Structure 1
């Protein structure tokens, strides 16, 4: 599942993760480090299981099940917020 940011969504890295701005609505979204890692992975073309593995590598205390659930939840939230679309 490769995703891209909608053309009217801007992403900026921050010390705490990432901020997304929907230029149409003017709404901002603050992503923590975990959500930013998931978004970057999906935008870079990684599949969700690969992104979940990257979460486990970045955060050794996280279980594989939790990484899978977090990846799915974050992906669903990004899609529902209409910040990303399928590539």
Structure 2
């Protein structure tokens, strides 16, 4: 399932990852390069399995670890009300 950010969330790629701005609260979220790969895959229309594969390939980590990381990030973004 693709990740959809609310209309009041802005994203910007940086040299170090991705920055999210919650315009409702003014809070910035800075994602490191691994978080950036996950978010860019999901907002690009990929599902969580594709994000896991992208993360595992890009950073040469085990799929189990990548799965845990993707699930944790997606859950955190949803709990914060940034994504659906």
TM range (shorter): over 0.9
* Greater RCO, CA 8 A, separation 6+: 1
Total equivalences in the alignment: 84
Structure (1/2) with the larger strand percentage:
1
Partner of 1:25: 25
Structure-to-structure mapping, 1:1-87, within 5 angstroms:
1-60=1-60, 62-85=61-84
The 10-residue stretch of structure 1 (43-52 or 67-76) with the greater mean CA deviation from structure 2: 43-52
Structure 1: gaps (5+ residues): none
State TM-score, norm by structure 1: 0.90
CA RMSD across the alignment: 0.9
Q: Which SS does the other structure have where 1:18 is aligned?
A: strand
Between the aligned partners of 1:77 and 1:41, the Cα distance in structure 2 is 17
Structure 2: gaps (5+ residues): none
